[in-house]
Amino acid sequence: MIKHDYHHGNLKEEFISIAMDFIAKEDTEKLTLKVLSDATGTSRSAIYKHFKNKDALIETIIEKGFDKFDLETTPYLKNESKALVDRFYLTGKLYIEFARTNPNLYRLLFGKKYAHIREALLSIKDEDCSGFAALQKTVKDGQQQGLLKKEDSYQQAIVIWSTMHGISSLIIDGFMDVADVYEKIYDTLFETLLTGMVANKVKIISTIPLLNKFLQPAN
């Protein structure tokens, strides 16, 4: 095999790019250091200079994966110019879309197989935990504005995240055949979640007509 002439310092990024592209198409378990070697025409020893084993490679992919997840799922949460309910609703849709378009990466990031690596890298209680900190901050914003019930924001955020994770997992794993009707299911889940969190006798305004139908003041 012809050895490619990589500039010094670029080889590690090339390995990471190849690994990310591989996971986009194949199960993570099929990824090996040999895949990188074959794709780049480099020796195994060249790979070991950057990754001592597969776990080291997976660690880097998880870091890059959460960067991608955060970039694609949190822009609405961080956009305070949008109505609060819209920020929640649109973010949930982005979360599901990320899982649908990146099923193998999603399983890697949130699955049990490499949980020991993920947990060594980040904690859900870290302020910079991908996505979760933005979600909890948005919950707190709603509480401070008097729109959401003033309950434990951490627990409320966990409930929201768990709901998004649940429907996403059902979709990508083909369980209960929800893939074709997930949008309707999502709207029902969102209504259930939000109506349980909205403060009593509060009318929340949304730019999304669907949401205004059920966001009415409590009697």
CATH of the domain at 159: 1.10.357.10
Looking at the predicted structure, is the pLDDT value of residue 7 above 60? Answer: no
| CATH number assigned to the domain comprising residue 37 | 1.10.10
183 in the same domain as 115? yes
Q: Are residues 176 and 203 in the same domain?
A: yes
Domain-embedded: residue 207: yes
pLDDT of residue 2: 36
Total number of domains in the chain: 2
Residue 218's pLDDT is what? 47
Shared-domain flag, residues 137 and 186: yes
Whether residue 131 is predicted with pLDDT greater than 90 in this model: the reply is no
Residue 34 lies in a domain: yes
The residue type found at 76 is Y
Asked if residue 4 has pLDDT above 50, the reply is: no
| Mean pLDDT score, 41-56 | 89
| 58 in a structural domain | no
Q: What is the pLDDT of residues 189-207, one digit of tens each?
A: 998 888 888 887 666 677 7
Residue 72 domain-assigned (yes or no): yes
Do residues 122 and 206 share a domain? yes
- Mean of the per-residue pLDDT values for the chain? 86
Instruction: Identify whether residues 123 and 40 lie together within a single domain.
Output: no
Q: How do residues 174-194 score in pLDDT, each as one tens digit? A: 877 787 888 989 999 998 888
Which structural domain range is residue 15 located in?
Answer: 1-52
Per-residue pLDDT of 77-122, as tens digits, reads 989 899 898 999 999 999 999 999 999 999 999 999 999 998 888 7
Q: Which residue has the higher pLDDT, 3 or 157?
A: 157
Q: How large is the average pLDDT for residues 149-171? A: 93
What value does the mean pLDDT take over residues 125-154? 86
Are residue 15 and residue 121 in the same domain, yes or no?
A: no
With beta carbons less than 8 A apart as the criterion, state whether 21 and 30 touch.
no
My answer on whether 142 and 165 are in the same domain is yes
Write out pLDDT tens, residues 9-36.
588 899 999 999 999 999 999 999 999 9
